[in-house]
């Protein structure tokens, strides 16, 4: 049941990655109090057993503080790597010929094993192979089922098991590896709220994850492959949320292409009503320094001005020397941007036309009415969270208080722009709806006596997807008498 917890004043959410620097219950609570709204657990590092204390600490904090907590489990995805070298590393000279083959024998400056059959099947002459986060570049000359001949375009030192990116072709690889399947089952058993799927290339990549999740968590697609951009709208339509994963996207594409693509991904996600997270290197210098660069501050601010639902910290909060300070800085930047009078205008540069449904029409109307009558808040009753997502898509200028009888719904809304979710008992009548909306607005300090609030719900109550009521009410001073959640 609900407790009185003041909502955050800012609307963009902060997603903080947990790791060695932030893995204790004490630090997790410090990150929350510094501004973290949700927590990312990276399944690429450490074993599953090490994740259990993190999840338990987040849920314990949830019970102690009285606010639904949001946990995102980020699956590793298919990692492509070259094999090993006889001497541990080699120097690849620019202009030289270099072979990738299926032979497990340790390599040398002329060849190395590539233990990924799918690349041999899909590669074509002219395609690029990027090694070690793009530091080395190979151009394919020709290839067959067992060997790929390349020319070294950008040389350098290459050591054992370095990562490989293939930006120019769609690889016939499943988005879920065996490790991902195991991690997914573990995460679902632990009742996490969001599952992030890495290296999505096409809409079909989401189908198996969706089937395995079976409604037990929300599914987030990480956009980090050029091939995903080609089918962006289809991918966004098939998932519950999107991440602009700028790390690998910036490896596989020229860096100057990433900013416009970031804006495009945010725009498409907002238009289709999916929460969108901007991630990677946002405050990178704070891994080692107590303050960010001015360019990093501007980068974070741009994502907030664009209307992203959430902004994410990676190594800054997971492994850096200043995890609490990096969250506090992210929070401060977001609050400063949202105080800017131009912010409200800029977040509406993206036009979000309503679908021809009653729920969408009412959501758009709620935003406009709130502005016209100077309402203090929009309050919605929802079971699945769909009403809250529709309202948030409109980016209203007032807080959004979401009342839901389902804790899993309340937790998932931690990545939604402007939403303050409260787990509470459902209502059975129109009169109870109005009375409860007023009480909860006061209880959670969303509004005060004398304020108008807008209430949205669906009749019959408790029926998902039935939003058909919009009601404007004024709060009077004694609404909390006889309060019960």
178-189 and 48-65 helices, crossing angle to 10°: 30
Q: Which of 349, 327, 321 is nearest to 282 (CA)?
A: 327
Triad 427, 2, 32: Cα angle to 5° = 140
Distance between CA atoms of 210 and 212, rounded to whole angstroms? Answer: 6
Write out the DSSP string of 408-471.
HHHHHGGGSTTEEEEE-----SHHHHHHHHHHHHHHTTS--TT-EEEEEEESSTT-TT-EEEEE
Across the 485 residues of the chain, what is the mean pLDDT of every consecutive 10-residue run? 67 98 97 97 95 98 95 95 95 97 95 95 95 95 95 97 92 91 98 97 94 97 94 97 94 92 97 96 97 98 97 97 98 97 91 85 94 96 94 95 97 97 92 93 92 91 78 80 47
Q: What is the number of H-type helices and E-type strands within the chain? A: 17, 21
How high is the pLDDT of residue 480?
Answer: 55
Quickly list H helices, 231-322.
232-238, 246-252, 258-271, 294-305, 315-318
pTM, rounded to two decimals: 0.92
How high is the pLDDT of residue 4?
Answer: 54
How high is the pLDDT of residue 461?
Answer: 77
């Amino acid at each position: 049941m609900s407790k009185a917890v003041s909502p955050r004043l800012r609307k963009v959410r902060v997603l903080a990655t947990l790791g060695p620097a932030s893995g204790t219950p004490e630090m997790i609570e410090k990150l929350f109090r510094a501004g973290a709204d949700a927590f990312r657990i990276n399944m690429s590092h450490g074993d599953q057993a090490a994740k259990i204390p993190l999840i338990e600490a987040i849920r314990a904090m949830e019970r102690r503080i009285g606010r639904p907590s949001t946990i995102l489990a980020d699956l590793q995805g298919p990692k492509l790597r070259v094999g090993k070298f006889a001497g541990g590393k080699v120097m690849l000279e620019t202009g030289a010929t270099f072979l990738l083959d299926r032979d497990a024998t340790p390599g040398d400056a002329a060849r190395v094993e590539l233990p990924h059959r799918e690349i041999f099947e899909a590669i074509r002459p002219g395609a690029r192979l990027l090694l070690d986060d793009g530091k080395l570049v190979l151009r394919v000359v020709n290839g067959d089922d067992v060997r790929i001949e390349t020319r070294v375009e950008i040389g350098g030192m290459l050591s054992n098991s370095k990562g490989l990116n293939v930006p120019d072709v769609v690889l016939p690889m499943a988005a879920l590896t065996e490790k991902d399947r195991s991690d997914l089952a573990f995460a679902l058993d632990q009742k996490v709220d969001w599952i992030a799927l890495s290296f999505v290339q096409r809409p079909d990549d989401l189908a198996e994850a969706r089937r395995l999740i079976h409604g037990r968590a929300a599914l987030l697609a990480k956009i980090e492959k050029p091939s995903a951009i080609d089918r962006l709208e289809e991918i966004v339509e098939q998932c519950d949320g999107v991440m602009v994963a700028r790390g690998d996207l910036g490896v596989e594409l020229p860096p100057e292409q990433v900013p416009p693509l970031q804006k495009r991904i945010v725009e498409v996600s907002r238009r289709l009503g999916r929460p969108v997270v901007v991630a990677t290197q946002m405050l990178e210098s704070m891994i080692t320094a107590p303050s960010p660069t001015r360019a990093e501050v501007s980068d974070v601010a741009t994502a907030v001005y664009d209307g992203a639902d959430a902004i994410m910290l990676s190594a800054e909060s997971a492994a850096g020397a200043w995890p609490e300070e990096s969250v506090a800085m992210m929070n401060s930047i977001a609050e400063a941007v949202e105080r800017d009078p131009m912010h409200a205008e800029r977040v509406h540069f993206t036009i979000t036309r309503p679908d021809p449904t009653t729920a969408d029409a009412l959501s758009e109307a709620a935003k406009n009415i709130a502005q016209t009558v100077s309402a203090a808040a929009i309050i919605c009753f929802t079971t699945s969270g769909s009403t809250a997502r529709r309202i948030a898509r409109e980016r209203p200028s007032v807080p959004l208080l979401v009342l839901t009888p389902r804790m899993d719904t309340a937790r998932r809304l931690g990545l939604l722009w402007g939403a303050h979710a409260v787990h509470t008992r459902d209502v059975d009548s129109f009169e109870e709806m109005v009375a409860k909306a007023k009480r909860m607005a006061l209880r959670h300090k969303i509004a005060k006596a004398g304020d108008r609030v807008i209430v949205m719900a669906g009749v019959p109550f408790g029926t998902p997807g039935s939003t058909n009521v919009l009601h404007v009410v004024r709060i009077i001073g004694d609404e909390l008498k006889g309060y019960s959640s």
